């Protein structure tokens, strides 16, 4: 008789704050329950208070892993995009969240990991490592990665320059990238506002594209960024 194959959880010897900020996260039943309840509440809030409208939901290539990119103006953005994905993909939808902001303290980490299911993205020093984590995530089927290629919320509401990360992530791969445009979020909840205003918001989802036929390189990365920025802007 051969031995059983045990697989201890990787975070067994970690405290709560470490566990929340770590990635990939080990599953916790209570986390799934809280996230599901929170997601229902968020969807209800967006529908009722912001009268959210979703256009082009059929463009999501559900079932395979894909990247969802959008303009970034407001803290509502990630909530709107996750709400655009069907509820059964909730625990497999990961908005990349700035590690230096969303995982900087225990309450923020708790919110970012339990409610948002955020992927801690180090936009300062370990960008390459964070991209490797994203690649691993996309290597498994059925995962949704949400990225704001501008890297930060726009202070004016205008679309900023797309950083190279998204290009480096998908160059030479067949991973579908879905552009989306968030309209009204800036008016509803701009940077610096304390509480969202009851403005209407719209999520427009464009057609998926992929860049598997392009050779990896600096020019390709720039091309992908420009192409996606154009696609997002075209939806606006």
Distance CA 39, CA 109 (A): 17
Q: Which is nearer to other proteins, 22 or 127 (CB)?
A: 22
Q: How many residues bind other proteins (CB under 8 A)?
A: 13
Q: Which of 1, 2, 4, 63 binds other proteins (CB under 8 A)?
A: 4
Contact region for other proteins (CB under 8 A) — 8-16, 73-81, 179-187, 214-222? 8-16
Tell me: does residue 7 bind other proteins (CB under 8 A). yes
Q: Are 205 and 54 in contact (CB under 8 A)?
A: yes
Q: Which is nearer to other proteins, 33 or 234 (CB)?
A: 33
Tell me: does residue 58 bind other proteins (CB under 8 A). no
Alpha-carbon distances of 50 from 65, 187, 188, 190, 226, rounded to whole Å: 29, 11, 8, 14, 31
Q: Which is nearer to other proteins, 13 or 215 (CB)?
A: 13
Tell me: does residue 6 bind other proteins (CB under 8 A). yes
Distance CA 3, CA 172 (A): 42
Tell me: does residue 15 bind other proteins (CB under 8 A). yes
Region at 172 (left for phi over 0; alpha for psi -120 to 50; beta for the rest): left
Nearest to 183 by CA among 211, 213, 206, 209: 206
H helix intervals, 111-217:
127-139, 165-170, 185-188
Tell me: does residue 8 bind other proteins (CB under 8 A). yes
Nearest to 208 by CA among 231, 236, 183, 233: 231
Minimal distance in Å, beta carbon 2 to other proteins? 12
Tell me: does residue 1 bind other proteins (CB under 8 A). no
Contact region for other proteins (CB under 8 A) — 9-17, 96-104, 158-166, 174-182? 9-17
Q: Are 121 and 97 in contact (CB under 8 A)?
A: yes
Tell me: does residue 26 bind other proteins (CB under 8 A). yes
Query: What residues line the site for other proteins (CB under 8 A)?
Result: 4-9, 12-15, 26-27, 29
């Amino acid at each position: 008789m051969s031995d059983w194959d045990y697989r201890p959880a990787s975070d067994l010897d970690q405290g709560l704050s470490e566990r929340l900020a770590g990635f990939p996260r080990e599953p916790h039943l209570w986390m799934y329950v809280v996230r599901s309840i929170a997601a229902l509440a968020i969807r209800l809030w967006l529908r009722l208070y912001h009268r959210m409208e979703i256009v082009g939901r059929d463009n999501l290539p559900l079932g395979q892993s894909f990247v969802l990119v959008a303009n970034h103006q407001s803290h509502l953005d990630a909530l709107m995009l996750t709400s655009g994905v069907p509820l059964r993909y909730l625990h497999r939808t990961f908005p990349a969240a700035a590690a230096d902001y969303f995982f900087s303290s225990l309450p923020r980490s708790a919110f970012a990991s339990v409610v948002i299911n955020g992927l801690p993205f180090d936009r300062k020093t370990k960008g390459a490592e964070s991209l490797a984590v994203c690649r691993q995530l996309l290597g498994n089927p059925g995962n949704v990665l949400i990225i704001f290629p501008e890297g930060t919320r726009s202070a004016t509401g205008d679309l900023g320059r797309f950083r190279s990360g998204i290009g480096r992530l998908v160059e030479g791969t067949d991973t579908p990238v879905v552009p989306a445009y968030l309209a009204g979020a800036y008016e509803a909840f701009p940077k610096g506002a304390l509480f969202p205003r009851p403005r209407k918001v719209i999520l427009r989802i464009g057609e998926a594209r992929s860049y598997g036929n392009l050779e990896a390189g600096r020019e390709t990365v720039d091309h992908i960024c420009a192409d996606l920025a154009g696609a997002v802007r075209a939806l606006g």
